[in-house]
Amino acid sequence: MYDVKGNLRHVLADLPDDVQLVAISKYHPKEFIQQAYDEGQRVFGESHEQELRQKQADLPGDIQWHFIGHLQTNKVKYIAPYIAMIETVDSLKLLREIDKQAKKNDRVINVLLELHIAEEETKYGLTLDACRQLLDEGEWKSLSNVKICGLMMMASFVEDESQIRKEMMLASDFFDEVKQKHFSADDAFCERSWGMSHDYRIAVECNSTMVRIGTTIFGPRVY
C-alpha cells in the first residue's frame, strides 16, 4: 500500500509556499484521493471526463478539480458545472465552447492555454506562434465567461536536465511576453503550470507557480 499521506507531506515540504500543488489522481482509486484530502490537499487533476465525473460525484464537494487531459469540445458540457480550471485549452474553438457552457451554468471558468514546446510530436498544445496568433486576433476578449489565468506546458520526457530547463525557460519567457502585451493590467493572468513528478524541482527554478504531480504522491498508475 502506498503511503499517500507521507508522500504528500514530502512533496509539500519541497515546494515553496507560493507554488500550488495539483495532485494528479488520474487512474488512482478514490481511496487514495480521500487520503490526500484528509491530509489537507484540495486541488486534484484528472484527464478523462468519465473518470472525473464519477470521482466528482463520490468525493467531497469542496475539492477543486483541474482538467489536465486533451478535452474534446463535446465533453465540455459535462464538466462545465463544477470544473475549477481547465488547463489544456489549445484552440479558439475549445475556448468558445467553454465560454458557451460556462454561460449556461451561469459561471466563469478559469482556463490555461496549453503550449506545445516539447520536441515529442505526440504532445498537444499551441505552438508559440499559434498562441500569439490566438491572442493577437482578440476574440477571446469577448468571451466573458472564460478567464485566461496563464499558461501550461509539459517538457520533453528526457533525462537531459538542460533540455528540460531550456523548454521551461522558453515557456517562462513566453509568459512574460504575453503578460506584457495582453495582460499587463490583469492580475488574474499569473499562472505558469509546469513540473511533474520527474521534473518539478527544475520547474520551480524555472518560475513555475503550479506543479502537477501524480506518481510521486500516489505511486505508479495502473492502466
Under the rule (CB under 6 A), what is the footprint of ligand PLP? 24, 26, 47, 68, 154, 196-198, 212-215
Nearest residue relative to ligand PLP (C-beta): 214
Q: Which is nearer to ligand PLP, 47 or 208 (CB)?
A: 47
Nearer to ligand PLP by C-beta: 24 or 109? Answer: 24
Vertex 94: Cα angle to 181 and 66 (nearest 5): 85
User: CB of 193: closest distance to ligand PLP in angstroms?
Assistant: 8
Partners of 152 in beta bridges: 114, 193
Q: Which is nearer to ligand PLP, 24 or 168 (CB)?
A: 24
6 or 144, CB closer to ligand PLP? 6
**Shortest distance in whole angstroms from residue 212 CB to ligand PLP:** 4
CA 66 to CA 96: how far, in whole Å? Answer: 19
Type of residue at 53:
R
27 or 82: whose CB is closer to ligand PLP? 27
Taking CA atoms, 12 is separated from 22, 41, 122, 160, 203, in Å, by 11, 10, 31, 25, 14
d(CA 169, CA 61): 36
Q: What minimum distance in Å lies between the beta carbon of 114 and ligand PLP?
A: 8
Min CB(69)–ligand PLP separation in Å: 6
Query: Smallest distance from the beta carbon of 149 to ligand PLP, in angstroms?
Result: 16
Which among 203, 133, 211 is positioned nearest to 171, based on CA atoms? 203
CA distance linking residue 60 with residue 55, whole number of Å: 9
